Amino acid sequence: MPKPTIVALAGGVGAARFLEGLVRVWPQNRLTVIGNVGDDIEIHGLHISPDLDIVAYTLGGMVDDQKGWGFRDDTFHTQHMLAQYGCQTWFNLGDRDLATHIYRTEQLRKGKRLSQVTRELTAQLGLKTKLLPATDNQLRTYIVSGHRRMHFQEYMVLRRTEPNVSRVLFLGVRSAKPAPGIVQALRNASGVIICPSNPVVSIGAILAVPRIRATLRKIHGKIVAISPIVGGKTIKGPADKLMKAVGVEATALGVANLYSDLLDTLVIDEIDRSLAPQIQELGVKVLVTDTIMKNLNDKMRLARVVLRELGS
Amino acid sequence: MPKPTIVALAGGVGAARFLEGLVRVWPQNRLTVIGNVGDDIEIHGLHISPDLDIVAYTLGGMVDDQKGWGFRDDTFHTQHMLAQYGCQTWFNLGDRDLATHIYRTEQLRKGKRLSQVTRELTAQLGLKTKLLPATDNQLRTYIVSGHRRMHFQEYMVLRRTEPNVSRVLFLGVRSAKPAPGIVQALRNASGVIICPSNPVVSIGAILAVPRIRATLRKIHGKIVAISPIVGGKTIKGPADKLMKAVGVEATALGVANLYSDLLDTLVIDEIDRSLAPQIQELGVKVLVTDTIMKNLNDKMRLARVVLRELGS
């Protein structure tokens, strides 16, 4: 009998922090992470995959813990020089980090798929966990603000989430297919974890790939999500604003609403215990625990709670 | 009446060292440098123009004087990481230097011409001298060794000039046109200087552009070259080997032979004084002086000798 495997759906920093704990209490080589590519962007002609890199660097143990992205102790000499050449440098790219983008861009231009390049990069970073981009197709998250529309990174990094958001678009999603291995991994998984990431843009862009959502809907009794909204706020990022923008209340209940067609259990924080009955009414089981991850112990404890719920 | 202008044909380190002296005794904004692009190469998917950059960094005052290329005090973090990703890193690219290649590559991909991108880069580096690539077309110097042929950089850097050379090829040269402004600059110049660079591959790749050589042939009495061969040896690089490979003796006389159809005066070193009569037989005037440039004073002195010969 094959050994049980877990599949995790992941955005950026929030997911990576949870996964850091998970890989300490669950075998790394029996975990597959499906990463968000909606935030991918071309900068200086280089293909950047911010969320895939955050997960890879975190699991590889070389992430900058303070920032949550990039390499620890990285320098920014190339970027300073690019600024001198008049390039916009609002999206920070460290020197070591640039190697990832240069490598990825070259391999993609040679005709490789993003999933293949990601496999090569994560292998070289020493990851035992499989990291799969949600899709190899071009899928880009755009924010509509009034009459303007902008790439998610422009909204998030350049404009610091200040524009009013009227809509979120996943450009290219209709023709996007799950990257090779995703459907199979989901079907064979003994459990699926939806990490505490932005449910609208990060997890949203993964679930927007038609066949991924359809596959998850057919899986019963083993999908657990951790709410990234605690006490009506996000730990990091604009999830609360974006939830309101898509007409969902910015609470754990709102998260449950976004996932209710496929979710079995939602892990919520003690502070949100009063929302449990309403969430249960959606047909979603509720598990109440401390969800704030201040240190590695918190991360491992939360991972154990989730694994227990999955019967693993 | 327009002020007199000088045009210099330049390869890499040897030329840059001479030009460093020239711009201290001649107004920088009345100098146009035509740079070699035969050595250009794509590495990690980036367009590298080694000779243009050596000239630009040297005239900009930020070159690494020890190496003769790259930025002073540059770091190599990106490259170390690229090596970890399994990339070949025999061609050294510093972090600051990479900004130049990233910028150039992005702009070329957007459809700009190399001459335009070079103008932008040199402006940002603070150059007052105009630096023009010999051509905006694809022209690549290849070395034929037995049944193999390899890019010049592979021969030069990776294989350390060890392969036997049977032939030098300038791929794409037949359809190469001079970059905009070159023919005009040459026609209007009060003097043309052929820098002490490799006459076969560096200056050779410039003169191989049909209209450049043809234009120079029509200019009389104001073309001066400095021999890069002193006492039968090159100061730096494989000029001597390559001259023999193309059937020319590796001496100042050999240099005179390569340029005899267009050259007025060849500046040779004291040590080569005995070659003067044979060079004169080719119809080339000889000027004997110290040509070894050990310091800035040597460079300026040599520049003054050349300018005097040009009547400037």
Summarised one tens digit per residue, pLDDT across range B56-115 is: 999 999 999 999 999 999 999 999 999 999 999 999 999 999 999 999 999 999 999 999
Question: H/E/C letters for each residue in chain A?
Answer: CCCCCEEEEECCHHHHHHHHHHHHHCCHHHEEEEECCCCCEEECCEEECHHHHHHHHHHHCCECCCCCCCECCCCCHHHHHHHHCCCCCCCCCCHHHHHHHHHHHHHHHCCCCHHHHHHHHHHHCCCCCEEEECECCCCEEEEEECCEEEEHHHHHHHCCCCCCCCEEEEECHHHCCECCCHHHHHHHCCEEEECCCCCCCHHHHHHCCHHHHHHHHCCCCCEEEECCEECCEECCCCHHHHHHHCCCCCCHHHHHHHHCCCCCEEEEEHHHHHHHHHHHHCCCEEEEECCCCCCHHHHHHHHHHHHHHCCC
Confidence of residue B233 (pLDDT cuts 50, 70, 90): confident
Across the interface, which of A45, A99, A120 has its CB nearest the CB of B106?
A45
pLDDT (average), residues B222-229: 97
Q: State whether A78 and B100 contact (CB < 8 Å).
A: no
A115-132: per-residue pLDDT in tens?
999 999 999 999 999 999
**A121 in contact with chain B, both atoms CB, cutoff 8 A:** yes
Please name which of B284, B174, B184 lies closest in space to residue B224, comparing C-alpha atoms: B284
Q: State whether B96 and A74 contact (CB < 8 Å).
A: no
Q: State whether A124 and B86 contact (CB < 8 Å).
A: yes
Token code pair at residue B45: 């998917």
Query: Are A23 and A298 within 8 A, CB to CB?
Result: no
* pLDDT at res. A271: 97
Angstrom distance (rounded) from CA B280 to CA B55 = 31
For A93, name the nearest residue in chain B, comparing CA atoms only: B78
ipTM of the complex: 0.92
Which of A76, A79, A81, A104 should we substitute to test contact with B (largest number of B Cβ atoms within 10 Å)?
A: A81
* pLDDT at res. A233: 87
* pLDDT at res. B2: 78
- Computed over every residue of chain B, the mean pLDDT equals 96
A178-233: per-residue pLDDT in tens?
999 999 999 999 999 999 999 999 999 999 999 999 999 999 999 999 999 999 88
**A88 in contact with chain B, both atoms CB, cutoff 8 A:** no
Q: State whether B102 and A78 contact (CB < 8 Å).
A: yes
| pLDDT of B122 higher than 90 | yes
Chain A residues in contact with B124 by the CB 8 A cut-off are 84-86
| SS3 of residue B41 by DSSP | strand
Across the interface, which of B78, B85, B94 has its CB nearest the CB of A124?
B85
Which of A95, A104, A110, A120 should we substitute to test contact with B (largest number of B Cβ atoms within 10 Å)?
A: A95
* pLDDT at res. A174: 94
* pLDDT at res. A179: 98
What is the percentage of chain B residues whose pLDDT exceeds 90?
Answer: 95
**A75 in contact with chain B, both atoms CB, cutoff 8 A:** yes
B236-263: per-residue pLDDT in tens?
788 888 999 899 999 999 999 999 999 9
Interchain CB contacts (distance < 8 Å): A and B: 94
Q: In this structure, which amino acid lies at residue A251? A: T
- Computed over every residue of chain A, the mean pLDDT equals 96
* pLDDT at res. B5: 96
A17-60: per-residue pLDDT in tens?
999 999 999 999 999 999 999 999 999 999 999 999 999 999 99
A161-175: per-residue pLDDT in tens?
999 999 999 999 999
CA geometry: angle at A73 spanning A71 and A74, to 5°? 60
Token code pair at residue B184: 């005009």
A279-294: per-residue pLDDT in tens?
999 999 999 999 999 9
Q: State whether B120 and A86 contact (CB < 8 Å).
A: yes
Task: Determine whether B101 is exposed, middle or buried from the number of CB atoms within 10 Å of its CB (0-12, 13-18, 19+).
Answer: buried
What is the percentage of chain A residues whose pLDDT exceeds 90?
Answer: 95
Q: Residue B103: enclosing H or E segment and its boundaries? A: helix B95-109
Confidence of residue A234 (pLDDT cuts 50, 70, 90): confident
Which of B85, B101, B127 should we substitute to test contact with A (largest number of A Cβ atoms within 10 Å)?
A: B85
What is the percentage of chain B residues whose pLDDT exceeds 70?
Answer: 100
Least confident span in A35-44, A238-247, A295-304, B147-156: A238-247
The phi and psi torsions of A136 (rounded to 5 degrees) equal -90, -10
pLDDT (average), residues A239-245: 91
Across the interface, which of A86, A106, A121 has its CB nearest the CB of B124?
A86
* Helices A13-25 and A50-60: angle between axes, nearest 10 degrees: 30
Task: Determine whether A90 is exposed, middle or buried from the number of CB atoms within 10 Å of its CB (0-12, 13-18, 19+).
Answer: exposed
**B42 in contact with chain A, both atoms CB, cutoff 8 A:** no
Confidence of residue B161 (pLDDT cuts 50, 70, 90): very high
Name the E strands within B189-284.
Answer: 191-194, 223-226, 229-230, 233-234, 265-269
Confidence of residue A235 (pLDDT cuts 50, 70, 90): confident
Quick one: DSSP state of residue B4?
P
Q: State whether A124 and B84 contact (CB < 8 Å).
A: yes
Confidence of residue A278 (pLDDT cuts 50, 70, 90): very high
* pLDDT at res. A237: 81
Query: Are B228 and B203 within 8 A, CB to CB?
Result: no
* pLDDT at res. B120: 98
**B30 in contact with chain A, both atoms CB, cutoff 8 A:** no
**A93 in contact with chain B, both atoms CB, cutoff 8 A:** no
| SS3 of residue B3 by DSSP | coil
Angstrom distance (rounded) from CA A160 to CA A276 = 32
Q: Are strands B223-226 and A265-269 parallel, antiparallel or unpaired?
A: unpaired
For A105, name the nearest residue in chain B, comparing CA atoms only: B45
pLDDT (average), residues B265-282: 97
Q: Are strands B41-43 and B46-48 parallel, antiparallel or unpaired?
A: antiparallel
Chain A residues in contact with B78 by the CB 8 A cut-off are 78, 95-96, 98-99, 102
Residues in chain A: 312
* pLDDT at res. B238: 87
Token code pair at residue A77: 């000499």
Q: Does the pTM exceed 0.90?
A: yes
Query: Are A127 and A60 within 8 A, CB to CB?
Result: yes
Query: Are B37 and B63 within 8 A, CB to CB?
Result: no
